[in-house]
Structure 1
Amino acid sequence: MALDTDAVEAIAFDSYGTIVDVTTVEEPLSEHVDDPETVAQLWRDRSLEYAMVGNAVEEYRSFYELIRHALRWALDARGVELDESEREDILSTYHELDVYGDVREGMERLRDAGYDLYVVSNGNEEMLESMVDHADIGDLLEATVSADEVERFKPEPELYRHAADRIGEPPEGIAFVAGGWWDVPGAMHAGMQGIWVDRQDALWGPYDAEPDLTVETFREIADEFDA
């Protein structure tokens, strides 16, 4: 399906990997490991795996707790021993990840065009507060919606449906924007329209459903909505 902009009343954005760049963690990792890119990818992948396994076994911990455990696992997997304070210093980077340069402009154009904007994230409340503050987008958002509110992580449908209830629109009236290949089909399965921000020139799927719109930047989203 193609994106039906006429049906959209609100636009919801993922946070990590969509608004802020999770590869920022490579810089503090580089002070301790020879292959920071590899360790950062192991860390990211393991944190998402923990979230999805937690969904499956109905065991919930905050996302910050999951990334704490995932960092330790990634370092152990590479044979790197750091003490707790060193790991916590690296972990704290999640409160000040680099913001993609197109974010503020694209969101501002959409807000000025009359769309209500939200963030829907696996991050817990403290993470989202720091992310919004660091990204300087608080004045553009109506609210943030955290996995903590339902104790389920994306791509389970519960969080997207809860977000729709919070937003006050039917799922089909919400365009969901994410950089994660796994996040967009989750939102679409819950009834939202899906926009994939493919910043890394990645491969989609294979899924029967394609994103309703694929872009490289938030500016292209604003263009699509004539904002």
Structure 2
Amino acid sequence: MPLPAPLDRADAVVFDAYGTLLDVHSAVQRHAGAVGPEAQGLSDTWRQKQLEYSWVLALAGRYAPFWTLTERALDFALAKHPKVDPGVRADLLEAYKALDAYEEVPATLRHLRGAGLKTAILSNGDTAMLDAAVTAADLGGLLDAVLSVDPAGTFKTAPAAYDLAPARLGVARERIVFLSSNRWDIAGAAAYGFTPVWVNRTGQPDEYPDLAPVRVIRSLDGLLA
């Protein structure tokens, strides 16, 4: 059966990891009883600051491993939510190394590989945390490459970060479909020349009208529809 657009014009499909393949809120959810009623607020703050720190460093021409930013973001989140017992910090960080994959992820990756497409992750995550996450989610055998921005020394949306995918996969950028749940990442991918598909899992309003995705889907199942 022919693949639907834009897969019919692709040689590779590259995924963001955190929020796209892996549920970034599953770490706090796993310890929701210990965190208490501010669990969702804590998780939202943690994620917001983790991303904010990466943007600020990239714009300032600086870099630190994403795991370091993850730790700093959690420390901020705990300080902002003082009713949460800071003793949960170690458990939350350990859980972040083994986030849950979204339910449809393995089947989608198997289908893409079965259709002859290369599959890869391109993530702000550093190599160690990505290796741990992919192993915990049992996705390693379904990916041709797991790419950290580490070698670029910067974070997405810097073009140098996106450069890593075509270089490693040996595929021209215009033949790569790129998926992310982060609209800012989709904007960066569009500017770079990937074919971007926005996985809008939470029904967010659109933005960046000049850097639009070619498709919007609610989960990875929609990619194959």
- Same fold by TM (over 0.5)? yes
Q: How much is the aligned-residue C-alpha RMSD, in angstroms?
A: 1.8
Instruction: Measure the CA separation in 2 of the matches of 1:209 and 1:59.
Output: 25
Gaps of 5+ in 2: none
Instruction: Measure the CA separation in 2 of the matches of 1:81 and 1:153.
Output: 30
Match of 1:56 among 59, 63, 72: 59
**1:34 has 2:37 as partner:** yes
Deviations 1:132-164 (Å, cap 9, x if unpaired)? 112222111111110111111112221111221
Contact in 2 for aligned 1:102/1:218 (Cα 8 Å):
yes
Contact in 1 for aligned 2:177/2:197 (Cα 8 Å):
yes
Instruction: Measure the CA separation in 1 of the matches of 2:191 and 2:139.
Output: 28
Tell me the residue number matched to 2:161.
159
Local SS of the residue matching 1:118: strand
Figure out how many residues of one structure are paired with residues of the other and give that number.
221
Instruction: Measure the CA separation in 2 of the matches of 1:81 and 1:216.
Output: 32
Contact in 1 for aligned 2:53/2:69 (Cα 8 Å):
yes
Match of 1:127 among 129, 140, 156: 129
Instruction: Measure the CA separation in 2 of the matches of 1:21 and 1:203.
Output: 20
Tell me how far 1:76 sits from its aligned partner.
0.6
Instruction: Measure the CA separation in 2 of the matches of 1:3 and 1:172.
Output: 14
Match of 1:73 among 76, 79, 82: 76
Code of the aligned partner of 2:200: D
Tell me the residue number matched to 2:26.
24
Contact in 2 for aligned 1:160/1:187 (Cα 8 Å):
yes
Tell me how far 1:29 sits from its aligned partner.
5.1
Deviations 1:85-125 (Å, cap 9, x if unpaired)? 64122111112211111101111111100000000001111
Tell me how far 1:172 sits from its aligned partner.
0.5
Local SS of the residue matching 1:182: helix
Segment of structure 1 superposing worse, 208-217 or 14-23: 208-217
Contact in 1 for aligned 2:147/2:165 (Cα 8 Å):
yes
Contact in 1 for aligned 2:158/2:188 (Cα 8 Å):
yes
Tell me the residue number matched to 1:217.
219
Tell me how far 1:81 sits from its aligned partner.
7.0
Local SS of the residue matching 1:195: strand
**1:181 has 2:183 as partner:** yes
Code of the aligned partner of 2:68: E
Instruction: Measure the CA separation in 1 of the matches of 2:224 and 2:139.
Output: 16
Tell me how far 1:58 sits from its aligned partner.
1.6
Deviations 1:65-89 (Å, cap 9, x if unpaired)? 1010000011111225755x64122
Tell me the residue number matched to 2:205.
203
Code of the aligned partner of 1:113: A
Matched residues, percent identical?
31
Normalised by the size of structure 1, how large is the TM-score? 0.91
Gaps of 5+ in 1: none
Tell me how far 1:3 sits from its aligned partner.
5.1
Tell me the residue number matched to 2:49.
46
Deviations 1:11-55 (Å, cap 9, x if unpaired)? 101111011111112232541343110111011000100000010
Tell me how far 1:4 sits from its aligned partner.
3.9
